[in-house]
Amino acid sequence: MTLRELLGAIAAGALALAALPWLASDFLLSLALTCLMYIGLAVTWAMFSGATNYLSLATSAFFGIGAYVTAWGFGSLPYALVVPLGGLAAAAFAALVGAGILHLRGAYFAVLTFGLGELVRHAITYSEKTYAHTVGRVLQDAPESSVVYWTVLLVAAAAVAACAAVRASRLGLALAGIGADEERAQTLGVDTRAAKITAFAIAAFFAGALGAAVAVRWTYIEPASVFNPFIGFQTVLIAMIGGAQTLAGPMISAVVFSLLTELLRLQFPYAYLIVLGVLLIVLVLYLPGGLASLVGRWRRVRA
Amino acid sequence: MGFWLELAASGLITGGIYAVVALGLNLQYGLMRIMNISHGEFLMLGAYLTWLAHTVFGINPVAFLPVVAIVLFLTGLAVYRLCFRRITRTSPSVEIIEARSLLVGFGLMYLVQNAAYMTWGADLRGYSFLADAVEIGGARFAGNSLLAFGFAVAASLALLAVLRWTMLGKAIRAMMQSPTGAQLVGIDTAFLHPAVFGAGLALAGVAGALLSMVYEITPGMGEPYTVTALIVITLGGLGSAAGCLAGGMLLGLVEAFGMHFTSPSLKMLLSYAVFIAVLLARPKGLFAR
């Protein structure tokens, strides 16, 4: 498929999904919304981390920053403005931090990005307590669920389209080059630093926008719930299981896992997480390329 | 005077525990590039084992320490055999070992932590052991935290001695310097890797057992210690056991004094600030030449 056909397919899919609020029940709609949220998160995570092999655990930090932009801005600013603002705030944060930490590789980078989420969470908790004298914030007059759904759909579709475009661009090639051998890419004239920061910020933009868009679903916003590291882990897990080097892999596994999570997590919270843990271990050990690598293997066998 | 001594001592006591936790993780990472992010979960297991032994069977926690160490060592052998051996054998490069072991570590974290929640529930558990205050030089300390500090320092020093003066320690240091070179001169990786991994978990378990004497325990207690251990390793330098001990004490002091001058709710913020500052300014550790 060429890029233009791919973008057309994404637009067509998004248009078809836009009809859902008239067809489905509230429960199905919220299920679909969760699926879309994880599609957007997993696809953009894979765009940066899957290509470069920089394991970022900062998704929950970006998501939480977006959600807090909503918490602060919603009410005085329109919803349509809060969502891109949340994305921009997260992207600015990512660019700033990325400039400082993107020269670190491997476990250091992963741990540091994980620490970022905690750092921002603790900083917000502290400043809210000291200056605003609150623990959390209550959101009033949330938009209708169909409006939230369309917004999330739009952001998720834009995320997928952006990833498709990046993959086909010079930036995408530079990212893949960094993942294969960063020093070689540098020697061949790729500005690896700029490429990494740009991609990191793009991924952060969508995570932040999704956080800002989804935040209105919760009437009460507090740091512990929006900076939940579970969102970050689940995103990594989804992308890895689907195959972080592909575009379709994370999308498919996002749907599967969001459904599983929504159905099982409330009923069997601990058992579900145990199963998730075991699944992650087994998958990393026996299928490190993700489910998408199965398709490739199957094709090779048939050929 | 007594107050400052107490503050400094409380920092050193926490720091001693940090050092033990970090030593285990540092050994595993320095030797095999296994970033075992579930390290703190095994600390939690050690704490719960001790708590069970004390409350159900009435066993003295100090006497139970060696049992915790052995049980966690055997657990480590099993975990290595089941998870990490395959990673070290099948991964094409060191970086991929790091990334994959990190993900497996997250899986283990989910697994162990939630299994503990299922078994013991989310309640705080604890027991009282040597809680009477002891007075030294005008400062008062709880007996159990002095004991924990003593054991933590003893365990760290014992490990340092093993690494420095025994044949086994020499082999481990050789492997850290050059894995291929060590194999060429006949050092047995197939024996050393699982043994060192097990030793790391045993240290975590001992740290957990010591903590259970001082603080109340929950299934989620391990996670902050993993992060702290990573900070200590960064401070002390990768693969440096002595650096770990010094880094642990230093972080303990920074936290104690920082919390005193700002506020206790900033504890994690302080640790992260130290972590990020060190990573940016001296990524090879404070004591690197």
Helix (H, G, I), strand (E, B) or coil at B142: strand
The two tokens of residue B32 are: 């095999």
Nearest to B95 among A53, A129, A277 (CB): A53
Tell whether B266 lies on the interface with A, counting CB pairs under 8 A.
yes
Distance from CA of A13 to the nearest CA of B (A): 32
Question: Is the CB of residue B220 less than 8 Å away from at least one CB of chain A?
Answer: no
| Domain annotation covers residue A21 | yes
pLDDT at A207 over 90: yes
Question: For chain A, what is the domain count?
Answer: 1
Of A55, A100, A115, the CB nearest to B102: A55
Averaged pLDDT for residues A106-112: 76
Cβ contacts of B250 within 8 Å, gap of 6 or more: B15, B235, B286
Instruction: Return left, alpha or beta for A75; rule: phi > 0 is left, psi -120 to 50 is alpha, else beta.
Output: left
Per the CB < 8 A criterion, the answer to whether B116 and B47 are in contact is no
Residue B288 CB neighbours (<10 A) = 12
Residues of chain B with C-beta less than 8 angstroms from the C-beta of A126:
263, 265-266, 269
Q: Around Cβ B88, how many Cβ atoms within 10 Å?
A: 17
Please report whether residue A237 resides in a domain. Answer: no
Cβ-based interface (< 8 Å): residues of A facing B: 53, 55, 100-101, 104-108, 110-112, 114-115, 118-119, 122-123, 125-126, 129, 233, 236, 240, 269-271, 273-274, 276-281, 284-285, 288
Cβ contact B227–A118 (<8 Å)? yes
Average pLDDT over residues B247-267: 82
Q: Does residue A41 lie within any of the structural domains? A: yes
> Is residue B74 very low, low, confident or very high in pLDDT (cuts 50, 70, 90)?
very high
Neighbouring C-alpha atoms within 13 Å toward the C-beta of B63:
6
Burial pattern B140-165, b for ≥16 Cβ within 10 A else e, equals ebbebbbbbbebbbebbeebbebbee
Contact residues for B179 (Cβ-Cβ < 8 A; gap 6+): B189
- Read off the pLDDT band of A160 (50, 70, 90): very high
* β-bridge partners, A77: A74
CB A112 within 8 A of CB B276: yes
Which residues of chain A neighbour B113 with C-beta distances below 8 Å? 273
Contact between chains at B265 and A277 (C-beta distance less than 8 A): no
Does the beta-carbon distance from B100 to A288 stay under 8 Å?
A: yes
Residue B76: per-residue pLDDT:
92
Supply the ipTM of this predicted assembly.
0.81
- What domains appear along chain B, each with residue ranges and CATH number? 2-281 (1.10.3470)
Its pTM stands at: 0.81
pLDDT digits (tens, 9 = 90+) for A59-98: 999 999 999 998 888 878 888 888 899 999 999 999 998 8
Q: Please, are residues A89 and A71 in contact by the beta-carbon 8 Å criterion?
A: no
End-to-end CA distance of chain B: 36
B130 pLDDT exceeds 80?
A: no
Q: Between A198 and A5, where is the model more confident? A: A198
Which is it for the CA torsion A66, B280, B197, B217, positive or negative? negative
φ and ψ at A49, to 5 degrees? -75, -40
Environment class of A248 (CB within 10 Å of its CB; exposed 0-12, middle 13-18, buried 19+): middle
> Which 3 state secondary structure label does DSSP give A139?
coil
Banded pLDDT at B279 (limits 50, 70, 90): confident
Whether the CB-CB separation of B112 and B45 falls below 8 Å is answered with yes
Amino acid type, B124: L
pLDDT above 70: residue B17:
yes
Would you give the DSSP letter of residue B265? G
Q: How confident is the model at residue B48 (pLDDT cuts 50, 70, 90)?
A: very high
Q: How many CB pairs under 8 A join A and B?
A: 114
What separation in angstroms does the CA of B148 have from each of A151, B70, B244?
55, 19, 18
Distance from CA of A164 to the nearest CA of B (A): 25
The minimum CA-CA distance between B148 and chain A, rounded to whole Å, is 28
Q: Is the pLDDT reported for residue A283 higher than 70?
A: yes
Contact residues, chain A, for B234 at CB < 8 Å: 108
Confidence at residue B137, expressed as pLDDT on a 0 to 100 scale: 63
Read off the pLDDT of each residue in A161-165 and give the average, rounded to a whole number.
91
Amino acid at A22: W
**Mean of pLDDT values over B63-82:** 91
- Residue written as token pair 């475009």: A165
Nearest Cα residue in chain B from A97: B276
| Max mean pLDDT range (A209-218, A219-228, B128-137, B274-283) | A209-218
pLDDT at B8 over 90: no
Question: What is the C-alpha separation between B11 and B17, in angstroms, rounded?
Answer: 10
Q: Does B104 touch chain A (CB under 8 A)?
A: yes
- CA-wise closest residue to A91 among A63, A115, A68, A116: A63
Among the listed residues A280, A276, A257, A258, the one whose alpha carbon sits nearest the alpha carbon of residue A268? A276
Given a cut of 80, is residue A104 above it in pLDDT? no
Which pLDDT band holds residue A155 (cuts at 50, 70, 90)? very high
Mean pLDDT of B103-108: 87
Tell whether A23 is covered by a domain.
Answer: yes
Touching A: B residues 167-196, CB under 8 Å:
none
pLDDT score for A38: 93
Among the partner residues B87, B117, B269, nearest to A126 by beta-carbon distance: B269
Chain A CB contacts of B90 under 8 Å are: 288
Partner residue facing A280 (CB), from B95, B96, B103: B103
Name residues 25-64 of chain B within 8 A of A (Cβ).
29, 35, 37
Summarize pLDDT for B133-142 with one digit per residue, the tens.
676 666 667 7
How distant is the Cα of A245 from the closest Cα of chain B, in angstroms? Answer: 15
Contact yes or no for B198/B28 (Cβ under 8 A)? no
Chain B environment of A118 (Cβ under 8 Å):
227, 268, 272
Q: Given an 8 Å threshold on Cβ–Cβ distance, is B35 in contact with A53?
A: no
Output the six-digit token pair for A12.
Answer: 């067509």
Residue of B nearest to A121 (CA): B269
Contacts 24+ apart (CB under 8 A), A142-147: A142/A216, A142/A217, A142/A219, A143/A79, A143/A216, A145/A21, A145/A26, A145/A29, A145/A30, A145/A33, A145/A217, A146/A21, A146/A29, A147/A79
Write out the residue range of the structural domain in which residue A24 sits: 3-227
Question: b/e per residue, A189-201, with b = 16+ CB within 10 A?
Answer: ebebeebbbbbbb
When CB atoms are compared, the residue of A104, A270, A281 closest to B114 is A270
SS3 letters across A204-260: HHHHHHHHHHHHCCCCEECHHHHCCHHHHHHHHHHHHHHCCCCCHHHHHHHHHHHHH
pLDDT in tens, A183-203: 888 888 888 889 999 999 999
Q: How confident is the model at residue B202 (pLDDT cuts 50, 70, 90)?
A: very high
Element (H, E) at A173: helix A170-180
CB B44 within 8 A of CB B116: yes
What percent of chain B stands above pLDDT 90? 11
Contacts of B98 in chain A (CB under 8 A): 106-107
Helix axes B2-32, B167-177, angle to 10 degrees: 70
Average pLDDT of B106-116?
89
| C-alpha distance from B92 to closest chain A C-alpha (Å) | 12
Compute CA distances B32 → A285, B88, B151, B182, whole Å. 16, 8, 27, 13
Tally the C-alpha atoms within 13 A of residue A59's C-alpha that lie toward its C-beta: 32
At B171 the pLDDT is: 85
Q: Can you give the pLDDT at residue B131?
A: 63
CB B103 within 8 A of CB B31: no
Average pLDDT over residues A89-118: 83
Q: What is the mean pLDDT of chain B?
A: 83
Alpha-carbon distance A96 to nearest alpha carbon in chain B (angstroms):
14
Does B132 score more than 70 pLDDT? no
Residue of chain B with shortest Cα separation from A105: B95
Task: Give the model's pLDDT for residue A21.
Answer: 80
Q: Name the residue in chain B with its Cα closest to that of A107.
A: B98
Residues of A in contact with B263 (CB under 8 A): 126
The CA-based angle A204-A115-A85, given to 5 degrees, is 25
More confident residue, B232 or B286: B232
User: Which tops the pLDDT comparison, A4 or B112?
Assistant: B112
